[in-house]
Structure 1
Amino acid sequence: MIVVTRYRVTPGDASSFATRAHTALDALAQQRGYRTGGVGRNVDDESLWTLTTLWDDTGSYRRALSSTDVKLAAVPLLSEAIAEPTAYEEI
């Protein structure tokens, strides 16, 4: 399962956002079922960022969101994402 969350970040907040995104990614990476992930910024629109993760399955991702560490380090950031579908199945 692939999870892609997108964010609009003002230029002045880019450094802070990158730090928070990497902290969130680190918390997610400690969870069972996590495969890989990354933080990215759009090459054409520097205000558009992503946090992308790959999971064994939907259940692994949903259980990860219940972890205390993830609730503290990642959920606040995830709540700032652009409101759109984020979960994709691998084909």
Structure 2
Amino acid sequence: MFVVIRFRVPETEQVEFAVRLAAAVEVLGRQKGFVKAQTGRNVDDPELLALTLEFVNVGSYRRALSPYEVKLTAVPLLSLAIDEPTAYEDLATDRTELLPQQ
């Protein structure tokens, strides 16, 4: 499963935000079931940043948010995210099948 978390951060605050984001990714990366993380900036709107996280399953993701060090480091940052659903199940691992057949 993967998580897409978007943030609106003024360009003048992005250096400080990047430090906090790196710390959050570092602590989440030590959690069981973590696979990888990726960060990016929108090419058309430079104030729109995204963090994607991949976990083995949704249970791993939810458990990863529970440890004290995560609550201290990552959760305050994640609370600044744009309020929208973030967790997605992986529907296709083959790039030729983007959505399941109905």
TM-score in same-fold range (> 0.5): yes
Q: CA deviation at 1:35?
A: 0.2
| RMSD over equivalenced CA pairs, Å | 0.6
Per the alignment, in what secondary structure is the counterpart of residue 74 of structure 1?
Answer: helix
Per the alignment, in what secondary structure is the counterpart of residue 73 of structure 1?
Answer: helix
What is the identity, as a one-letter code, of the residue corresponding to 1:51?
L
Per the alignment, in what secondary structure is the counterpart of residue 46 of structure 1?
Answer: coil
* Structural mapping, 1:75-90, within 5 Å: 75-90=75-90
Per the alignment, in what secondary structure is the counterpart of residue 38 of structure 2?
Answer: strand
What is the identity, as a one-letter code, of the residue corresponding to 2:28?
L
Q: Which has the larger radius of gyration?
A: 2
Identity over the aligned pairs, expressed in percent?
52
Q: Which residue of 2 aligns with 1:15?
A: 15
CA contact (8 A) 1:22 1:39 kept: no
Q: Which residue of 2 aligns with 1:53?
A: 53
Q: CA deviation at 1:52?
A: 0.8
Q: TM-score, normalised by structure 2?
A: 0.87
CA contact (8 A) 1:18 1:39 kept: no
Counterpart CA distance in 2 for 1:25 and 1:40 is 13
Per the alignment, in what secondary structure is the counterpart of residue 66 of structure 1?
Answer: coil
User: Which portions of structure 1, spanning 4 or more consecutive aligned residues, are displaced by more than 4 angstroms?
Assistant: none
Per the alignment, in what secondary structure is the counterpart of residue 7 of structure 1?
Answer: strand
Q: Which runs of 5+ in 1 are unaligned?
A: none
The alignment covers a number of residue pairs equal to 91
Q: When you count helix as a share of all residues, which structure comes out higher?
A: 1
Q: Which residue of 1 aligns with 2:36?
A: 36
Per the alignment, in what secondary structure is the counterpart of residue 31 of structure 1?
Answer: coil
Q: CA deviation at 1:41?
A: 0.9
Q: Which runs of 5+ in 2 are unaligned?
A: 92-102
